[in-house]
Amino acid sequence: MVYEVEVFKVFLLAMARLSGLVVSAPVLGSGSFPAAGKIGLVGLTAMLITPSIAALNQTLPSEPLEFALMGASEFVIGLMIGFVMTLMFGAIQIGGQIMDMQTGFGMMNIFNPALETQFPIFGFLLFIVAVLVLLATNGHHVMLRALISTFDKIPLGGLTVHEDLPRQISLWGSAMFYDGVMIAAPVGAAMLVAYLIMGLVGRVVPQIQLFAVGFPVTIALGLFMVAISLDLYVGFLDGMFHQMFKNVSDMIQGMS
């Protein structure tokens, strides 16, 4: 009977760690993913991995408060891993916002049900493409495998934070802005050339109403540049996903 109780405790703690990932990770934490599906995914995955979790040197706490605190630390582990993954999709939103501001769509946003927030129009398009690429390359499987691997490196209740981890997180944040600028670079460069040409035309032919002519030109040019640079964007996503999972590995090392 005592053995069954200990196994059930391990199962609950594994569920807590998995829940943190499902709450915060892109795609898995999407608002479009039904809550029943998330609960079923967490419960089934925890059930499958519980027998493979290494036994601890000491018994798990039996006091409700101590056990709840251990469960909270397990939830934080999954939450932090999902947070690192979300930074990459933050770069996509930044890139889309820059593109919208340059092309004239900056005053319009649409609701993204996956992240439950307002998204720029180009950012939403790039987000959908990124999700499709992630699913097509089985990135959601890699997410779950990355979290499951933490049970070998971070034992239950063994959360520690290395002193250089906050600095590393700040570097990932700066990389997010860099990736966003790189995503928007083709459209931004085209818009720079377009604005320079329109400025010269406005000087040479002052009678032209650039305000009326400029918006259709920038919108059409922006759509054209997005269309021809999508292939480049997909190739850039491959490097971003590779870096994302490398960052997850570094995060696991920083908490072990």
Per DSSP, the residues of 49-97 read: HGGGSPPPSSPPP-SHHHHHHHHHHHHHHHHHHHHHHHHHHHHHHHHHH
Q: Can you tell me the distance from the alpha carbon of 116 to that of 228, in angstroms, rounded to the nearest whole number?
A: 29
Locate 168 and state its tokens. Answer: 């590393």
Q: What is the pLDDT of residue 106?
A: 66
Find the length of the chain: 256
How far apart (Å, rounded) are the C-alpha atoms in residues 244 and 30? 18
pTM for the structure as a whole = 0.81
pLDDT at 64: 81
Give, for 220, the enclosing helix (H) or strand (E): helix 210-255
pLDDT per residue as tens, the chain (256 positions) = 455 777 888 888 888 888 888 888 887 777 777 788 888 888 888 888 888 876 665 677 778 888 888 888 889 888 888 888 888 888 888 888 888 888 777 666 666 655 566 667 787 888 888 888 888 888 888 888 888 888 888 888 777 778 888 888 888 888 889 999 999 888 888 888 888 888 788 777 777 776 667 777 888 888 888 888 888 888 888 888 888 888 888 888 878 7
| pLDDT at position 155 | 80
Burial class (CB in 10 A: 0-12, 13-18, 19+), 61: middle
| 176: enclosing H helix or E strand | helix 165-204
| Spatial distance between the Cα atoms of 172 and 174, rounded to a whole number of angstroms | 5
- Which phi and psi angles does 44 have, rounded to 5°? -65, -45
* CA pair distance 70, 61, nearest whole angstrom: 9
Q: How far is CA 155 from the centre of its chain?
A: 25
Q: What is the pLDDT of residue 1?
A: 47
Rounded Cα–Cα distance for residues 133 and 152 (Å) = 29
- Domains of the chain, by residue range, sit at 2-255
Paired tokens of 163? 């002193």
pLDDT of residue 55: 63
Distance set, CA 146 to CA 115, 142, 170 (Å): 22, 6, 22
Q: Are 197 and 210 in contact (CB under 8 A)?
A: no
